[in-house]
Amino acid sequence: MEIKKIGVIGAGQMGAGIAQVCAAIGKVVTLCDIKEEFVDNGIVTIKKNLERSVSKERISQHVMDETLSRISTSLLTTDLKNSDIVIEAIIEDVDIKKALFSDLGNICDPTTILASNTSSIPIGILAEASGRPSKVVGMHFMNPVPVMKLVEVIRATGTSDDTFDMTFKLAEDLHKVPVLVNDFPGFVSNRILLPMLNEAMFCVMEGVAEPEAIDTVMKLGMSHPMGPLTLADFIGLDTCLAIMEVLHKDLNDDKYRPCPLLEEMVKGGKLGKKSGEGFYKY
């Protein structure tokens, strides 16, 4: 079966990016969120990205209009009933995601694949909540989605060959490079990346160096495109904390203890770029 209709739940930076790349290859996309304002912001982000591509003469105005015309928005998950695949990209909270997968299991056609873009939560937990584990898979995109090539395709114990193969093929059709990863907390990307970001935060907390200095060390010394603290602000400090908490709890090892400075900043509403302040001001 070819995937033609795609539901994306969550119109934040990840969901909007996923909706954009899917529509760009001709898929019919429904972008769903809980508030009108959220879906509107998602569409604004997509328009801005496409306009940049038009201004750089990478795509024509006609292609931009066609891409946008393939994206509709909704506040109701029931509108995703007939989707071939639903890709979830909501807040990184295990209970909220479990409730959503349980709803999707009831709402969607039995053939619908349910994919999660979770950054760290084991797919098996969501698969169980859905009541249709063979149809559940992880599809972990990187931020910014239109730019980054990688998609981790996470295979849980119950994921069927068919579900895995179709998801892997969809990632290839999206001009991404899918990589098979088994179902462990944080997968590969965030199991390795987040402890590094967390360690950079410990360096700030302990006064090893100023944020700018830490970022410069990693950019110029290790050729990272962004320093770890800029990247943490870019990902969102609430998301970074949620991932560290999953690693800490599920891998049961204190080496994953979230940096207290990170916890304090999130409590104080400093969430990085999206809130206007994190390790830097925006």
Nearer to ligand CAA, 56 or 267 (CB): 56
Do residues 18 and 141 lie in contact, with contact meaning Cβ atoms separated by under 8 Å? yes
Residues carrying an active site annotation: 119, 140, 152, 190
Nearer to ligand CAA, 132 or 140 (CB): 140
Nearer to ligand CAA, 90 or 108 (CB): 90
Can you point out the beta strands (E) in the chain?
5-9, 28-32, 71-74, 85-88, 113-116, 136-141, 150-155, 177-182
Separation CA 136–CA 105 (nearest Å): 10
Separation CA 210–CA 214 (nearest Å): 6
Contacting range for ligand CAA; rule: CB under 6 A; set: 1-9, 108-116, 158-166, 188-196: 188-196
| DSSP 8-state secondary structure symbol assigned to residue 74 | E
Separation CA 172–CA 143 (nearest Å): 17
Contacting range for ligand CAA; rule: CB under 6 A; set: 63-71, 95-103, 139-147, 249-257: 139-147
- The least CB distance from residue 102 to ligand CAA, in Å, is 23
- The least CB distance from residue 81 to ligand CAA, in Å, is 28
Separation CA 158–CA 167 (nearest Å): 15
Binding-site residue total for ligand CAA (CB under 6 A)?
A: 18
Contacting range for ligand CAA; rule: CB under 6 A; set: 65-73, 104-112, 138-146, 198-206: 138-146
- 3-class DSSP assignment, residue 7: strand
Q: Does 41 bind ligand CAA (CB under 6 A)?
A: no
Restricting to residues 227-256, name those near ligand CAA by CB under 6 A.
231, 235, 239
Contacts of 90 (CB under 8 A, 6+ apart): 9, 10, 12, 15, 96, 97, 100
Q: Does 190 bind ligand CAA (CB under 6 A)?
A: yes
What region, left, alpha or beta, does residue 224 occupy, with left being phi > 0 and alpha being psi -120 to 50 degrees? beta
Nearer to ligand CAA, 84 or 238 (CB): 238
- The least CB distance from residue 140 to ligand CAA, in Å, is 6
| DSSP 8-state secondary structure symbol assigned to residue 26 | T
- 3-class DSSP assignment, residue 114: strand
- The least CB distance from residue 31 to ligand CAA, in Å, is 16
Q: Does 89 bind ligand CAA (CB under 6 A)?
A: no
Among 2, 55, 56, 254, the residue binding ligand CAA under the rule CB under 6 A is 56
- Rounded to 10°, the helix 228-235/211-222 angle is 110
Reading the block at residue 248, the tokens are 């800490």
Nearer to ligand CAA, 80 or 235 (CB): 235
Q: Does 222 bind ligand CAA (CB under 6 A)?
A: no
Residues that bind ligand CAA (CB under 6 A): 49, 52, 56, 119, 142-144, 146-148, 189-190, 193, 225-226, 231, 235, 239
